[in-house]
Structure 1
Amino acid sequence: MSDGARTGDDSNGSVLVTGGTGFLGLHTCQYFRDRGWDVTAFDLKPFDAADDTDDIDFVEGDVRSEASVTDALEESGATSVVHAAAALPLWDADRIRETTIDGTRNVLWAATDRDVERVCYVSSTSVYGTHDEHPITEDSPLDGVGPYGRAKIQAEKICRDFRRMGLCVPVLRPKTFVGPQRLGVFQVLFDWIEDGANVPLVGRGNNRYQLLHVRDLVSAIELMLTGDEDEVNDTFNVGADEFATMREDFQAPIDYAGTGKRTIGTPAFLTVAVLRVLDRLNLSPLYPWVYETAHEDSYVSVEKLKRLGWEPEYSNREALVETYEWYLENYEVDEVDDETGLDHRVAWDQGALAVAKTISKRI
Structure 2
Amino acid sequence: MAVHLVTGGSGFVGAAIVRRLGERGEGVRVFDLRRAPDLPQGVTFIQGDILDEAALGAAMQGVAYVHHTVALVPLTKADARYDRVNADGTALALACAARAKIRFFSHLSSSAIFGAPSAMPVTAATPLAPIEAYGRAKREADERVRAAQAAGLLPTACIRPRTILGPGRLGIFSILFEWIRDGASVYVIGDGNNRFQFVHVDDVAEVSIQACLQERPGCYNVGTDRFGTLREDLSWLIAQAGSRSRVRSLPAGPAIALLSCLDRLGLSPLAPWHYLTYHRPFWYESGPVAEQLGWRPRFSNRDMLLDGYRWFVDGGAAADASIHRSPTRQGVLRGLKAVSRWL
TM bracket, shorter-chain basis:
over 0.9
Q: Give me the whole-angstrom Cα distance separating, in 2, the residues matched to 1:135 and 1:360.
A: 34
Q: Give me the whole-angstrom Cα distance separating, in 2, the residues matched to 1:159 and 1:167.
A: 9
Task: Normalising by structure 2, report the TM-score.
Answer: 0.96
Which residue is equivalent to 1:126? Answer: 112
Q: Give me the whole-angstrom Cα distance separating, in 2, the residues matched to 1:293 and 1:171.
A: 22
Q: Give me the whole-angstrom Cα distance separating, in 2, the residues matched to 1:37 and 1:332.
A: 28
Q: For 2:238, which of 251, 254, 257 is the aligned residue?
A: 254
Which residue is equivalent to 2:209? Answer: 222
Asked if structure 1 preserves the Cα contact closer than 8 Å seen for 2:10 and 2:39, the reply is no
> Which secondary structure does the structure 2 equivalent of 1:265 belong to?
strand
Shift of 1:332: 5.2
Answer yes or no: is 1:174 the counterpart of 2:154.
no
Shift of 1:261: 2.3
**Where in structure 2 are the equivalents of 1:46-61 lying within 5 Å?**
46-48=35-37, 51-61=38-48
Which residue is equivalent to 1:354? Answer: 334
Answer yes or no: is 1:315 the counterpart of 2:300.
yes
> Which secondary structure does the structure 2 equivalent of 1:63 belong to?
coil
Q: Indicate how the Cα distance of structure 1 residues 64 and 267 shifts in structure 2: closer, same or farther if over 3 A, else same.
A: same
Question: What is the identity, as a one-letter code, of the residue corresponding to 1:67?
Answer: A
Question: What is the identity, as a one-letter code, of the residue corresponding to 1:119?
Answer: F
Q: For 1:43, which of 27, 32, 49 is the aligned residue?
A: 32
Which residue is equivalent to 2:2? Answer: 13
Question: What is the identity, as a one-letter code, of the residue corresponding to 1:347?
Answer: P
Q: Give me the whole-angstrom Cα distance separating, in 2, the residues matched to 1:28 and 1:253.
A: 27
Which residue is equivalent to 1:65? Answer: 52
Which residue is equivalent to 1:32? Answer: 21
Using the TM superposition, name which of 92-101 and 110-119 deviates more: 92-101
Which residue is equivalent to 2:186? Answer: 199
Q: Indicate how the Cα distance of structure 1 residues 264 and 236 shifts in structure 2: closer, same or farther if over 3 A, else same.
A: same
Answer yes or no: is 1:144 the counterpart of 2:130.
yes
Q: Give me the whole-angstrom Cα distance separating, in 1, the residues matched to 2:259 and 2:333.
A: 10
> Which secondary structure does the structure 2 equivalent of 1:58 belong to?
strand
Shift of 1:52: 5.0
Post-superposition CA distance 1:262-314 (Å, at most 9, x none) = 21122111211111111111111110100111111111112210112110011
Shift of 1:316: 0.6
Question: What is the identity, as a one-letter code, of the residue corresponding to 2:81?
Answer: R
Post-superposition CA distance 1:297-348 (Å, at most 9, x none) = 11111221011211001111111000101111133597xx8x9xx7111111
Question: What is the identity, as a one-letter code, of the residue corresponding to 2:3?
Answer: S
Q: Give me the whole-angstrom Cα distance separating, in 2, the residues matched to 1:28 and 1:332.
A: 19
Runs of 4+ residues deviating >6 angstroms: none
Shift of 1:63: 1.0
Q: Give me the whole-angstrom Cα distance separating, in 2, the residues matched to 1:259 and 1:233.
A: 45
Asked if structure 1 preserves the Cα contact closer than 8 Å seen for 2:77 and 2:271, the reply is no
Q: Give me the whole-angstrom Cα distance separating, in 1, the residues matched to 2:310 and 2:250.
A: 27
Answer yes or no: is 1:80 the counterpart of 2:65.
yes
Using the TM superposition, name which of 137-146 and 184-193 deviates more: 137-146
Asked if structure 2 preserves the Cα contact closer than 8 Å seen for 1:252 and 1:320, the reply is no
Asked if structure 2 preserves the Cα contact closer than 8 Å seen for 1:197 and 1:360, the reply is yes
Q: Indicate how the Cα distance of structure 1 residues 91 and 272 shifts in structure 2: closer, same or farther if over 3 A, else same.
A: closer
Using the TM superposition, name which of 259-268 and 32-41 deviates more: 259-268
Asked if structure 1 preserves the Cα contact closer than 8 Å seen for 2:3 and 2:63, the reply is yes
Q: Give me the whole-angstrom Cα distance separating, in 1, the residues matched to 2:35 and 2:335.
A: 35
Q: RMSD of aligned C-alpha atoms? A: 1.5
Q: For 1:270, which of 240, 254, 257 is the aligned residue?
A: 254
**Identity percentage of aligned residues:** 36
**Aligned residue pairs, count:** 340
Asked if structure 2 preserves the Cα contact closer than 8 Å seen for 1:32 and 1:39, the reply is yes
Shift of 1:260: 2.8
Question: What is the identity, as a one-letter code, of the residue corresponding to 1:252?
Answer: W
Gaps of 5+ in 2: none
Question: What is the identity, as a one-letter code, of the residue corresponding to 1:242?
Answer: R
Post-superposition CA distance 1:197-252 (Å, at most 9, x none) = 1111111100011111001111111210112x4xx211110001011000011123
Which residue is equivalent to 1:324? Answer: 309
Q: Give me the whole-angstrom Cα distance separating, in 1, the residues matched to 2:192 and 2:144.
A: 37
Using the TM superposition, name which of 260-269 and 195-204 deviates more: 260-269
> Which secondary structure does the structure 1 equivalent of 2:60 belong to?
helix
Task: Normalising by structure 1, report the TM-score.
Answer: 0.91
Q: For 1:184, which of 166, 171, 183 is the aligned residue?
A: 171
